[in-house]
Structure formats: C-alpha cells, structure tokens
C-alpha cells in the first residue's frame, strides 16, 4: 500500500472537488467512542442470545431476555461521546462537502457531533416507541423502568408493547430510509466509507450503487472489504486520526 501521506493528499483532493458527497458509516467509526467491547469475548453479545422480532412479539419471556440485555447496553450508549471521526464528518458537512451521513449505527453519535442529515438504516437506540399506537419516549425514560425491574414495559396509553426504535433481527429494514440512502448514493459523486466491513446486506450494496452511478470511493476500515477493488483510496489507519488529518487538508487553501 502507498504511504499514508500521499494517500491522504489524494483523498483530500477528491473531497475538495465534490459538493455533495456522502458518508457511509458502520460500527468501526464508534469503536474510538468506547463502543467496541460488546462484540469481544465475554462481551454483551456473547452473554445474551439474539431475540428475533417474532419472538419479541410472541413471548413475554423473550422480551424479558431482550430488555435485560438492553438494560446493560443503554447506559454504555448514553455515556459514549462522538470521537474525532464523527466531529470531522460534522465539519465536512458545515464546509459543504458532505450532503448526508448514511449509517448502520444505532448510537446517535453523528447527530451529537453536529451532522444534520443522518439516515439511520438500522434505526436508533436513543428512543423507543409503542408498537401499537406509535407513542414515543426518550430511551432514558425506558431505562428508568428497566432499572425498576419492569422487564416487559407496556404503553401507558394503549397497553401496547414498547420496543427501541432499532431494527431487530427478522424485522424489515426501514423502506423510506433505504430508498433515501440509495437515491443519495446515486447522486453523490463521492462516497466516504468509514468503519464497515461491508458484509451486512442490503446496506452494504449502497457503496456499490454509488460507484455504479459514477461516484468516487474512499474507504477507511481496519480490515479488507469485498468492495476494496472499486475504492480509489483505502486507509487501514485509525478512523479518528485519519479523518482529523484529512479534514485539515480539505480546509487548507494550498496543496
């Protein structure tokens, strides 16, 4: 691989030439915010079984299992703060380089960093809703109920089931968000991918769709992805540091 500096300069040139690029982000952008450990050995995902959407609807026991895991997860999510990579994406939006962020993450950190147009393909863990009447709560309110040992919270208005606004296993992807993401990808001209192994479909096909419509691709990810061959510049370096330096170069008048 070419040295870091020349790759940075090439990526910065690409960003300087674009007006409404988009970013596509996955779990890897949030690891530097302390949200990496869930998948490591002994982590949350290993200690709890995945409860499918069907099971959630069908059984109070499955819901208790689901909410027990959330009760551990939610405080960690609420404590996490945007890192240098999130902040750099917000700055690129301010400077008119990025039109939107499309994310597979449910942590809400892009909005906290200041990005105003964020398309959440897997929903958000910052709020929860009643599956019957649609009433919505900040996740903090639900966490209070979980901590008071209500492990099957129901809606106060209609007694319907409450669920975080995330897309569960077996639940359909949000159609509108997917359509919006593909439309943006096809008009973008440039797609900056950060922290996704591009293995989860159908989200992973967004960079491919952008490329097919003529967009140039920059990838920042620790490991190889199935789409590396169509990316013009690839970084294996840490996302925070890379994005910080890249944004600085994009802002500088010379080079």
| Nearest CA-CA partner of 190 in 215, 212, 213 | 215
Nearer to Zn ion, 40 or 136 (CB): 136
Q: How far is the CB of 163 from Zn ion (least distance, A)?
A: 11
Closer residue to Zn ion, CB minimum distance, 12 or 155? 155
Sites for Zn ion among residues 154-213 (CB under 5 A): 155, 157-158, 160
Decide whether 36 or 133 has the Cβ nearer to Zn ion: 133
What element of type H or E holds 119?
Answer: strand 118-120
Residue of 77, 130, 142, 209 that binds Zn ion (CB under 5 A): 130
Instruction: At 51, list the tokens.
Output: 């409860």
In the complex, the smallest distance separating the C-beta of residue 111 from Zn ion, rounded to whole angstroms, is 25
Q: Enumerate the H helices of the chain as residue ranges.
A: 4-16, 44-47, 53-58, 60-79, 84-94, 109-113, 139-147, 175-187, 205-212, 239-251
| Residue matched to tokens 């209070």 | 144
Rank residues 50 and 133 by Cβ distance to Zn ion and give the closer one.
133
Q: How many positions of this chain bind Zn ion (CB under 5 A)?
A: 8
* Catalytically active residues, by annotation: 122
- Which residues neighbour 91 within 8 Å (Cβ) at sequence distance 6 or greater? 247, 251
**What residues numbered 212-231 form the site for Zn ion, per CB under 5 A?**
none
Judged by CB under 5 A, which stretch of 124-132, 166-174, 189-197, 208-216 contacts Zn ion? 124-132
Three-state DSSP at 179 gives: helix
| Shortest spacing between CB 202 and Zn ion, in angstroms | 30
Spatial separation of the C-alpha atoms in residues 218 and 182, rounded to whole Å? 17
Contacts with Zn ion, residue ranges (CB under 5 A): 130, 132-133, 135, 155, 157-158, 160
């Amino acid at each position: 691989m070419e040295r870091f500096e020349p790759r940075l300069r090439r990526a910065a040139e690409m960003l300087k030439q674009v007006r409404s690029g988009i970013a596509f982000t996955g779990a890897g952008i949030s690891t530097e915010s302390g949200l990496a450990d869930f998948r490591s050995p002994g982590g949350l995902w290993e200690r709890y079984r995945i409860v499918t959407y069907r099971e959630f609807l069908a059984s109070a026991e499955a819901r208790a299992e689901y909410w027990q895991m959330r009760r551990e997860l939610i405080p960690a999510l609420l404590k996490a703060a945007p890192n240098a990579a999130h902040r750099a994406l917000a700055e690129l939006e301010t400077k008119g380089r990025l039109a939107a962020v499309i994310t597979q993450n449910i942590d809400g950190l892009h909005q906290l960093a200041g990005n105003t147009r964020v398309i959440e393909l897997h929903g958000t863990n910052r709020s929860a809703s009643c599956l019957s009447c649609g009433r919505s709560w900040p996740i903090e309110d639900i966490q209070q109920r979980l901590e008071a040992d209500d492990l099957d919270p129901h809606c106060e208005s209609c007694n319907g089931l409450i669920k975080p606004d995330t897309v569960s296993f077996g639940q359909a992807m949000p159609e509108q968000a997917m359509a919006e993401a593909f439309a943006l990808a096809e008009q973008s001209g440039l797609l900056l991918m950060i922290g996704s192994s591009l293995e989860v479909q159908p989200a992973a096909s967004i960079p491919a769709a952008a490329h097919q419509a003529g967009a140039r691709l920059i990838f920042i990810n620790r490991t190889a992805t199935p789409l590396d061959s169509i990316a013009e510049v690839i970084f294996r370096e840490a996302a925070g540091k890379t994005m910080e330096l890249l944004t600085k170069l994009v802002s500088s008048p010379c080079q």
